[in-house]
Amino acid sequence: MSNPFLKQVFNKDKTFRPKRKFEPGTQRFELHKKAQASLNAGLDLRLAVQLPPGEDLHDWVAVHVVDFFNRVNLIYGTISDGCTEQSCPVMSGGPKYEYRWQDEHKFRKPTALSAPRYMDLLMDWIEAQINNEDLFPTNVGTPFPKNFLQTVRKILSRLFRVFVHVYIHHFDRIAQMGSEAHVNTCYKHFYYFVKEFGLIDTKELEPLKEMTARMCH
């Protein structure tokens, strides 16, 4: 494991959570392998995100949501020691954008939090969603709930905020570790996917608009 980015990831336990895996032999596992094979073959990311013929949209989306959660978690885990209550007292994306946390439990109203606190709540919340069998059924044939795509939009919008914070406030750390190409590829993959299936409102994408225009067009 000579890659310093991967070393950094696997030596950390602060915000790195165990990966959500797909059970071998399941349709979801086969889709996951198909998606990974496209990426490994160096296929254009715009093409790699397209729904394969004959596959179910909900299954394809579920596989990617779990994959993006795992990847974004790793990216944040590598810079988290530099993202503290002192350095990032507000969860923001530059001076124009501040993200407030809201959930169904403790924070019923949008609440200003430090970036590390926000990230912690966010990762716990997404983990709970993707491990909820009613929302992300793992048994083939079990239908997805009617609110599946609505929930997915919320998950992906919130994951996008991690990219915003990392790019705007911690990119020097990413560059210092030599992992910008890896992070950029993860971002492009995420961006093309949400655009392909209309899973994020355009206004959410505003903070990285200029960077995205350079990187993805």
Q: Which residues are annotated as a binding site for Zn(2+)?
A: 83, 88, 165, 170
CA distance 126 to 76: 14
Question: Would residue 137 be called left, alpha or beta, if left means φ above 0 and alpha means ψ between -120 and 50 degrees?
Answer: beta
Q: Measuring CA to CA, how many Å separate 45 from each of 19, 149, 161? A: 23, 22, 21
Sign of the CA dihedral with 203 first, then 135, 120, and 188 last? negative
CA distance 102 to 209: 25
Contacts of 206 (CB under 8 A, 6+ apart): 97
Q: Which residues are annotated as a binding site?
A: 83, 88, 165, 170
